Amino acid sequence: MPDSTASPSVLLVEDDAPLTDLLCDLLAEEGYAVEVATDGHRGLHLGLTRRFDLIVLDRGLPVLSGLEVLRALRRQAVDTPTLVLTARGALDDRGEGLDAGAEDYLVKPFEVPELLARLRALRRRRFEGAEQLPVGRRRLDLASRTVIGHDTAVELSASECALLAVLAEAPGQVFTRSQLLLSAFDGADDPGTVDTYVHYLRRKLGRDVVQTVRGVGYRLGAR
């Protein structure tokens, strides 16, 4: 089961310095801890020696290409969900990337909301294998969208479950409304959406399930 007590981690393997800086800022705002490698050799070393929740891998890298890195990781049974970034968008190129072991493939130039949405989808798939996340003394069952206690079971809507899952994946982290809009509501643009669903969760699960951090946002409150 993935570690739900720390911020999700991303290995970013990219040799374009301006793009790397942009992605580091965006991913940090999204709540990720980012480790950067600027060539394939370093990316392979980090991928083999460190555990990450996601990998974002440029295809055209110095020393080792992105696909060489990915094939080497898969040969060593490293199954970290990987999104390949590339300027090569032909159908055969996409197929080659997926055959090498990538879970997703995004062509440059790309729209930032699409990249973040694809990473959220990969992250959700990874947690689907965990099936349940701790919420204080209760558990959030992702498959049934139910919060289970000692003798209670409370069903959630899809949006309520998505919000609670984001908070429960990183229980020590404070999320801004913007981060929660991106992570739980696929980039919806009304910050009031977050407040509305926090209200719904508190009504169903008790006021302590989500803690308000004044001037910042929200965090998991049921410790």
Q: What is the pLDDT of residue 207?
A: 93
The DSSP output letter for 50 is: S
Copy the structure tokens of residue 97: 């990337």
Instruction: Tell me the torsion sign for CA atoms 73, 61, 124, 33.
Output: positive
Asked, for residue 3, whether it belongs to a domain, the answer is: no
**pLDDT score at 1:** 39
Q: For 194-220, what is each residue's pLDDT tens digit? A: 999 999 999 999 999 999 999 999 999
Domain boundary among 93, 128, 163: 128
Which of 53-67, 111-125, 161-175 is least confident?
111-125
Q: How many residues does the chain have?
A: 223
Alpha carbon distance 152, 174 (integer Å): 27
pLDDT exceeds cutoff 50 at 62:
yes
4: in domain:
no
* pLDDT (0 to 100) of residue 161: 92
> Is the same domain home to 13 and 122?
yes
Per-residue pLDDT tens for 162-172? Answer: 999 989 888 87
Residue where a domain terminates, one of 65, 94, 128:
128
Residues 137 and 121 reside in one and the same domain: no
Q: Identify the pLDDT of residue 219.
A: 92
What is the total count of domains within the chain? Answer: 2
115 and 61 in one domain?
A: yes
Are residues 31 and 109 both part of a single domain?
A: yes
Q: Are 69 and 43 in contact (CB under 8 A)?
A: yes
pLDDT of 187? 65
- Domain residue limits at 176: 132-220
1 part of a folded domain = no
Structure token pair of residue 84 = 């390949």
